[in-house]
Amino acid sequence: MIIDPHTLDLWSCLPAPEEVPEEVSLLADLQSALSLCRPLPSRYRIHQASPAWAPHFWDLLSTIRAGQTITYGELCRLNSLTLGYARAVGHLLSQNRYAILLPCHRVVPADHSTGHYRWGSERKRLLLDYEREHPDEI
């Protein structure tokens, strides 16, 4: 299922309750993801407008485990891009409208500082600290 924020009408996306097994309910998964600071299960894809080279980056974010970080440069290498793309990747991730669902806070600069974060460096640090302390809860 692809979720497009421009056309998102949650109720029209969901079949009647009797047609949806409890374990596949999008609404329940979204509520769980947001309340527990967990990424959205991989069976869902979130669509964000981005350059042609970028969609794979959104998918990669959900593979970074809670409590771990990766640098922008490492993320580039995973996508066979040169280190020169690191700033472009940083800019791309700054456009992420789904901060907890697509955990861009787990991507850090080469010096492993929090760097800049759309919702504030302090919030990014708190998220990372929480995930390091409670990796099994996420």
Q: What is the dihedral of CA 137, 133, 122, 83, to 10 degrees?
A: -90
Contact 118, 99 (CB under 8 A): yes
Give the Cα-Cα-Cα angle 73, 77, 83 (nearest 5 degrees). 45
Handedness of CA 92, 32, 5, 58 (dihedral sign): positive
Which positions are catalytic?
A: 104
